[in-house]
A and B are shown apart, each in its own frame.
Chain A
Amino acid sequence: MKIFTNLISELSQTNSNLKKTNLLSNYFLQETDELNKLWVIALLIGKKPPRTVNTTLLRQWCAEEADIPLWLFEQNYHIVGDLAETIALILPISVSNYDLKLHECITLIQSLKNKTEPEKKEFVLDIWRNLDDDQIWIFNKLITGGFRIGVSKNIVIQSLAQAMNVEKNAIAHHLMGDWSPNKTTWSILFNFDHGSADISKPYPFYLAHAISENDLQSLVADEWTAEWKWDGIRGQLIRRNGEIFLWSRGEELITDKFPEFEQVDLGEHDFVIDGEIIGWKDDKPLDFQSLQTRIGRKNITKKIQHDTPVKIIAYDLLELDNNDIRKLPFEERRSLLEKIVTVNNHSMIILSPQLDFKDSQTLFEWRAKSREVGAEGLMLKKKNGAYHTGRKSGEMWKWKVNPYTIDAVLIYAQRGHGRRASLFSDFTFALWEGDKLMPFAKAYSGLTDEEMKEITNFVKNNTIQTFGPVSSVKIELVFELAFEGVALSSRHKAGVAVRFPRILRWRKDKNVKEANQLDDLKKLLK
């Protein structure tokens, strides 16, 4: 635990990705315990060990141990923003008496699963009393099951590539899927022999940056293709040895959420298709909300399947009959994709239509039609581009439609969590309904730190009432909000809900009377 704690503290002491990569790669070279290394990888790329102790209990035990009331713990937690850290900071100061290995600690935590509550409490308190602050933080992170500390998956991949002297893409591929240190070993996970890999394993997704004005102007139309950018769940549909696997971009296996895909076949072919899973009815996409009914459910009933039918819109072909074709030019991958999809025509798979264009003017026209067809913009792909790993510029761009905007009044503010704990950063906005302001959206992002400081001062001096962490403020500030869409909602008092609201800019030039009406928003419903 000490080595791991030091590693984490060193990693969090630098903002440089290069230093982080070197620190990690040195760790991978020096650490001899392979199980420890597997856990370090798993934790850093976001594989949580299952939670064995309810966090409500952890809060109670910590408050008891520090001799403070629970409400005070909760208030403090709200300001610190991270449960593991809050507990570590609030507990009485202790020193390190125990020397546990990382994987031993995780095993102990996992073995709590079938223990009684008093047994769990005894174990947790004993650890809290016998580790130093920093190690308690790590222990708490392990037991609460989240480990985000500013080390991206890409850094982990790069550092492993460096330590093992293997190509980055190979590492990325081997880290895909739902492996666990409990069920694998170092030599199995990193077996680079072809054909031995887990047959469910997806490829790392190739992601696009937003196109800039310059890149758009310098596009040579002949060398590029355009498609709609659909608003569903990006995924990979895999068929290997006749078995179907459906993965989301978040690397979750979601085959059971979409049982419709289980019988998909394209002749006798095995394949890996990159596409968009999307609600689809009467030859039209359904809005994103419709997919939410799938994701949260344990059982996907016949009724759900009937009410929100789904399809996959196929963008790309990454593997055909066990051949990794990601390095082929897009044009060639696309024609293979067209061939297997059209020849074997399966009702669950729609080929992503390609949009004809001869210059950037036609592209603008296509893009303007996005909302009409239910898309959120365009994807531009270079004909000779390979299928890369991760987010890369140059051979693929996304070009989203401009968001909707509306001017709204700030009515509530709340202190931020974690990174923004000392600032008011979470805001509720309202629109006019007659002479009343109706709250309709919360927004967190879009302001600079400077603006947030300014607003924080405003809130401190203009608070009318506080409700726990929330302050209602004097009606004075107007902001332009951007959002992606509007839908009817019975859960919102305003009767409508906006998608992805964020702050576009502070309209210091406007007074509250000039903010929009709720009706203006409702007019966008269609």
Chain B
Amino acid sequence: MADLLVFTDKGIYCPQADVYIDPWKPVNKALITHAHSDHARSGHKQYLATLDSVPVLKHRLGSFIKIQGLAYGENITINQVQISFHPAGHVIGSAQIRLAYKGEIWVASGDYKVENDGLSGQFQPVKCHSFITESTFGLPSFKWKPQEQVYQEINDWWQINKDLGRTSIISAYSLGKAQRILNNLNTDVGPIYAHAAIENTNEVLRNQGFNIQASPKIENSGKSDKYKGAMIVAPPSAIGSAWTKKFGDYEEAIVSGWMNVRGIKRRRNAERGFVLSDHADWPGLNSAIKETGAQQIFVTHGYTEIFAQWLCEQGYDAKAVKTAFTGDEEVDLNTETV
């Protein structure tokens, strides 16, 4: 039997159902794992995604797109292929996509993390024969600390800055990391504000019923004292730009899995780096793959060659495949246009 999913120059393709998963060139029917720009692109005729990600997709790609939403676990059948979406825990609305045809089951994971952040849903291991995984942090040196510990570090840092009369600015991409941080800030420390790009996304999510920490938009005015001691959450593109001048004395921090590596932290000129990621770490990737029970593994982005070789040595039939996904938080943030 031919493979249920194949890798083409437009994206991951299911010939039987004639659908693509996260295609990077325009197609008729696109299944979207999540709304980040390297996975959800404009120009497709029809979109299929989770109900939770429909509003953000419309916000980012335009309200005119033709899109159908499915609840997690709900089935739809296209030309005998049963398709369903399952929580990936990456960002709000993110999903792994399961396709089943004549007893053969494939799962494409998009991006995922196994730790529950309270917003993105708990990653659900889905039994399958073939699993398509990311490997953004697919190296043994990436091991995350429990998230509570990192939130504590962020709040401590904020408190110290506040005591010194400084503003704290944190960079976080506007879908996912930003909400995760906002919801774990200690509101006793001081006021919280967000960059307009983030607050616009927040409003979309609040309208969907998600409970996101109130975070007034930064006003488009000159230097102001009202931000003294405040916490500002901003997208990475705003950091280090003239925009930050209005905050007077401030300190910037970057929140990313990459902050685990001192060299990267230095390159990005982060005064403070907090290690917190929306991707699975090394133990997370390994346990997630094991729990699928899959024998065949495709590694789509990240340290693909290295990770695939490691999986082969663990007894899997693993291959690295070339895709246009970056999964790279850095790239994701920099190409973000919202």
Footprint of B on A, CB under 8 Å? Answer: 12-15, 66, 68-69, 71-73, 75-76, 79-82, 85-86, 89-90, 93, 150, 417-422, 449, 453, 457, 461, 466
Is there contact, CB below 8 Å, between A82 and B269?
no
Is there contact, CB below 8 Å, between B267 and A12?
no
Confirm or deny: B209 has a beta carbon within 8 angstroms of a beta carbon on chain A.
no
Cβ-closest chain A residue relative to B310:
A72
Is there contact, CB below 8 Å, between B264 and A419?
yes
Is there contact, CB below 8 Å, between B303 and A79?
yes
Contact with A along B219-258 (1 / 0, CB 8 A): 0000000000000000000000000000000000000001
DSSP majority for the A interface? helix
Ranked nearest first, the 6 interchain pairs of A and B with the lowest CB-CB distance are: A418-B263, A89-B141, A419-B267, A419-B263, A76-B139, A90-B140
Known: A72-B306, A76-B141, A79-B139. A13 touches B272 (CB 8 A): yes
Contacts of B324 in A (CB 8 A): 461
Is there contact, CB below 8 Å, between B271 and A421?
no
The smallest C-beta distance from A493 to any residue of chain B, in angstroms, reads: 26
Is there contact, CB below 8 Å, between B141 and A90?
yes
Task: Classify chain B: how many residues form its interface, as a range.
Answer: 20 to 34
Confirm or deny: B305 has a beta carbon within 8 angstroms of a beta carbon on chain A.
yes
Contact with A along B134-158 (1 / 0, CB 8 A): 0000011111000000000000000
Is there contact, CB below 8 Å, between B263 and A417?
yes
Contacts of B266 in A (CB 8 A): 150, 418-419
Contacts of A422 in B (CB 8 A): 258, 264, 328, 330
Is there contact, CB below 8 Å, between A66 and B140?
yes
Known: A13-B272, A422-B328, A453-B334. A76 touches B140 (CB 8 A): yes
The smallest C-beta distance from B154 to any residue of chain A, in angstroms, reads: 14
Contacts of A73 in B (CB 8 A): 140
Q: How far is the CA of A150 from the CA of B270 in the complex (A)?
A: 13
**B261, B266, B328, most chain A CB atoms within 10 A:** B261
Is there contact, CB below 8 Å, between A12 and B262?
yes
Q: How far is the CA of A457 from the CA of B24 in the complex (A)?
A: 15
Confirm or deny: B188 has a beta carbon within 8 angstroms of a beta carbon on chain A.
no
Cβ-closest chain A residue relative to B269:
A15
Q: How far is the CA of A71 from the CA of B324 in the complex (A)?
A: 27
The smallest C-beta distance from A458 to any residue of chain B, in angstroms, reads: 13
The smallest C-beta distance from B268 to any residue of chain A, in angstroms, reads: 9
Q: How far is the CA of A421 from the CA of B264 in the complex (A)?
A: 6
Contacts of B310 in A (CB 8 A): 68-69, 72
Q: How far is the CA of A12 from the CA of B328 in the complex (A)?
A: 24
Complex A-B: 11 CB contacts under 8 Å: A15-B269, A66-B140, A69-B310, A72-B310, A79-B303, A85-B262, A89-B142, A89-B143, A418-B261, A422-B328, A461-B324
Is there contact, CB below 8 Å, between B263 and A80?
yes
Q: How far is the CA of A90 from the CA of B263 in the complex (A)?
A: 16
Known: A76-B139, A76-B140, A422-B330. A69 touches B263 (CB 8 A): no
Cβ-closest chain B residue relative to A418:
B263
Contacts of B331 in A (CB 8 A): 453, 457
Contacts of A89 in B (CB 8 A): 140-143, 260-261
Contacts of B269 in A (CB 8 A): 15
Contacts of A13 in B (CB 8 A): 271-272
Cβ-closest chain B residue relative to A63:
B140
Given A418-B261, A453-B334, output 18 extra A-B contacts at Cβ < 8 Å. A13-B272, A66-B140, A68-B310, A72-B306, A72-B310, A75-B303, A79-B139, A79-B303, A80-B263, A85-B263, A89-B142, A90-B140, A150-B266, A418-B263, A420-B263, A421-B261, A422-B330, A461-B324
